[in-house]
């Protein structure tokens, strides 16, 4: 096998906030918004304790002093407070939620619906992003490159509501979406991806700029890419119940990109 001089032996792992060449950044679909922690989609379901009219989302972390509790924190729809949509406030929010307990009730707030509370719990989960691995590390043109992703554990939370009912919330990955970097997009059921992975053949090898066009041995290089940016997305889905049937809360996406180099096999004539 003869490799082009532009072949690379490393796989570059990029975070979700990186926009890899040739792959459009993730966009918020209908009902979804982009936040500092990922793509978040509006919950679905029915409220149980009260019907809440249109309100801004719980966005700000505030603190107060409550009798018998002391200093505690709570979510607020309105400023002032630490804005959870501002990535520079992430550390302060984490410290605040670590140092102080959550307030047992929200000062001056209206009664919160069960669905809203379930969504709030879902947003508080640490939702793992995918850790994709490509085999072989350097792919071969016109042969399948194999993708594998480990299954993250399910997440769950249970608490007593003020009216005495128990609220259960569970979240797990239901769908894995793969943008292969050459214009192909595929969605897999989580059970399929975690059991057998995904596979995709690339028609063109990838080369460094100085090796294109036409100077690398063998077939043509991709005209712009030094490697295919493979974006893998976990679609986390949460459900809740208060003793009855499970109701879907909504979904939150977490993504990572791995840069996949592709070379080719070139036949070399050997004279006896």
Please check whether residues 154 and 73 belong to one and the same domain. Answer: no
Contact (Cβ atoms closer than 8 angstroms) between residue 148 and residue 165? no
pLDDT of residue 15: 35
Please check whether residues 68 and 170 belong to one and the same domain. Answer: no
Total number of domains in the chain: 2
Q: Helices (H), strands (E): how many in the chain?
A: 3, 16
Contact (Cβ atoms closer than 8 angstroms) between residue 6 and residue 211? yes
Q: For residue 157, is it within any domain? A: yes
- Rounded CA separation 2/201 (Å): 19
Q: For residue 87, is it within any domain? A: yes
Boundaries of domain holding 207: 12-50+114-263
Among residues 155, 132, 146, which one has the least CA distance to residue 233?
A: 132
Q: For residue 88, is it within any domain? A: yes
Residue 95: is its pLDDT beyond 50?
A: yes
Residue 84: is its pLDDT beyond 80?
A: yes
Percent over 70 (pLDDT), the chain = 71
Angle (CA) 220-222-225 rounded to 5° is: 150
Q: For residue 2, is it within any domain? A: no
- The model scores a pTM over 0.75: no
Residue 49: is its pLDDT beyond 80?
A: no
Cα 257 to Cα 41, 102, 131, 177, 250, distances in angstroms: 21, 35, 9, 12, 24
């Amino acid at each position: 096998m003869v490799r082009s001089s532009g072949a690379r032996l490393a796989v570059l792992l990029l975070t979700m906030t990186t926009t890899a060449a040739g792959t459009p950044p993730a966009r918020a679909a209908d009902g979804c918004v982009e936040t500092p922690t990922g793509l978040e989609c509006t919950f679905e379901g029915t409220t149980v304790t009260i019907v809440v009219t249109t309100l801004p989302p719980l966005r700000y972390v505030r603190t107060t002093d409550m009798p018998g509790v002391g200093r505690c924190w709570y979510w607020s729809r309105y400023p002032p407070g630490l804005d959870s949509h501002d990535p520079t406030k992430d550390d302060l929010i984490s410290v605040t939620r670590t140092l102080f307990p959550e307030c047992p009730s929200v000062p001056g707030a209206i009664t919160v619906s069960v669905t809203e509370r379930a969504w709030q719990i879902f947003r508080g989960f640490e939702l793992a992003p995918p850790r994709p691995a490509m085999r072989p590390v350097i792919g071969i043109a016109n042969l399948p490159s194999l993708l594998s992703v480990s299954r993250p554990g399910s997440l769950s939370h249970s608490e007593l509501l003020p009216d005495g009912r128990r609220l259960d919330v569970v979240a797990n990955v239901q769908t894995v979406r793969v943008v292969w970097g050459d214009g192909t997009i595929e969605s897999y059921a989580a059970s399929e991806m975690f059991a057998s992975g995904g596979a995709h053949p690339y028609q063109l090898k990838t080369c460094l700029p100085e090796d294109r066009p036409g100077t690398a041995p063998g077939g043509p290089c991709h005209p712009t890419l030094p490697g295919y940016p493979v974006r893998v997305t976990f679609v986390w889905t949460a459900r809740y119940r208060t003793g009855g049937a499970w109701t879907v809360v909504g979904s939150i996406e977490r993504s990572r990109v791995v840069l996949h180099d592709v070379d080719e096999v070139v036949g070399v004539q050997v004279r006896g």
